[in-house]
Homo-oligomer: A and B are copies of this chain.
Amino acid sequence: MTVNTEQTQQSNQPLDGLKVIDMGQVYLGPYCGLLFGFLGAEVIKVEGPGGDPIRFQTRAGENPAAMMLNSNKKSVTLDLHDDTDRAAFLELVADADVLIENFRPGTMERLGLGFDDVLHSLNPRLVYGSGKGYAADSECHDAPAMDFPIQAYTGLMAVTGFGDGPPVKSGAAITDFMTGVHLYGGILAALHERGKSGMGQKVEVAMQDVAHHALASNISGYILSPDNFVERAGNSQGVLEVTPYDIYPASDGSVAIMCLVDRHWASMARAMGAPHLATDPRYEGNIERTRRRAEVDAIVSAWTGVQTRSEIFAALNQANVPSAPVRQISEIARDKDMVKRGMITEAPHPELGSVPVPGSPFRFSRHANTKPRRAPAAGEHTNEVLGRGPVLDSASNITSDITE
């Protein structure tokens, strides 16, 4: 683990003492709960009898993604259509600080567990966080929403890809994760307010709204110049006139390079051993360079193509020019530097031996980050949390904790 060097360290965490019921499914809700867990809250993942659907999205065994999203949580399986289980659930909620859910709209109400009618009266201090695809007042509020269609609907796809090709989604489920952290943020704001009013409330965040906000630079470009707007510019700049700005060949892959301002170009010219390019009037200023983009890109490619990504990255870091190797998932999945920093640790997996799981993205000066506890099997803590008796045998196949 990384050791924070500032201030006196404490082994406690900023959200110690909070109790969170995490009914999240797949990515959005569970990521919200994961952040609470990183920060010291007690997070109880309440799953249906079959468990969070993400657990079974693969052909063989537990989905590694389920383990990545549910570190530090306890798991309780409950059939909320069953009276005994429903009563147990209400008992959990009665002294919880937070409830997280990202079900389809109306699901909690159909279960007789709506915030307004039931949960708020049961526990007036409860902060109820609801993650949705479309907002309750959206014209699409009843449309089934997942990351992929939301990327389409909001314009995230429209701006991604090459101008001569189709729109393409981000390969990561970005609207799920972005909305999960916004939901966490909305809940924290409500907890802050509860500190003054003593009252909980409901907070809702919709994927469609969060995605829209992330498009500010693209919308800005369109507003500024609707007729000349380049919607998709591949890896170059559609909105601004900036050159070089692209990925360039290396001997072992490719490298992203951007010369946002002219001093980047001057510095890069020196790094390329061609300082005269910095003062050549043909390449002076981003507007001139963008006009001669093909020429400039050829000059850059001739320099990058014969070097490794690491060599280029080192030279351009030295020159203070923004660049980075384009890395593959095989390189980042267990990236050594991330492991060294405690941002990736290994959790045991029944079939795969172990699975890399993420650490807290927050670094506090007065709290040291701790190693995540492995994600529970579905229902592993049902009896412990509900005080029902011995732990089920079915969970006993996973006993060890996360190892470094």
| Interface, chain A (partner B; CB < 8 A) | 2, 6-7, 14-15, 27, 31, 35, 39, 57-60, 63-65, 68-69, 115-116, 120, 135-140, 142-146, 148-162, 165-174, 177-178, 181-182, 184-186, 188-193, 195, 197, 199, 201-206, 209-210, 212-220, 222-224, 226, 229, 231-235, 238, 240-241, 245, 247, 254-258, 260, 287, 313, 317, 320-333, 337-338, 341, 343-344, 352, 355-356, 358, 361-367
Contacts and interface: CB of A to CB of B under 8 A. Distances in A.
Contact of A220 (B68, B189, B324): B68
A322 B366 contact: no
Given A148-B256, A205-B363, A337-B139, A159 B220 contact: no
Contacts of A137: 2, 341
Given A327-B158, A358-B213, A168 B167 contact: no
A323 to B, nearest CB: 6
Contacts of A197: 366
A137 B57 CA distance: 35
Given A167-B247, A185-B188, 19 more contacts: A15-B193, A58-B240, A59-B287, A135-B363, A140-B337, A143-B323, A144-B317, A148-B235, A152-B255, A155-B331, A155-B332, A156-B170, A158-B326, A158-B332, A159-B172, A160-B168, A185-B362, A201-B364, A215-B329
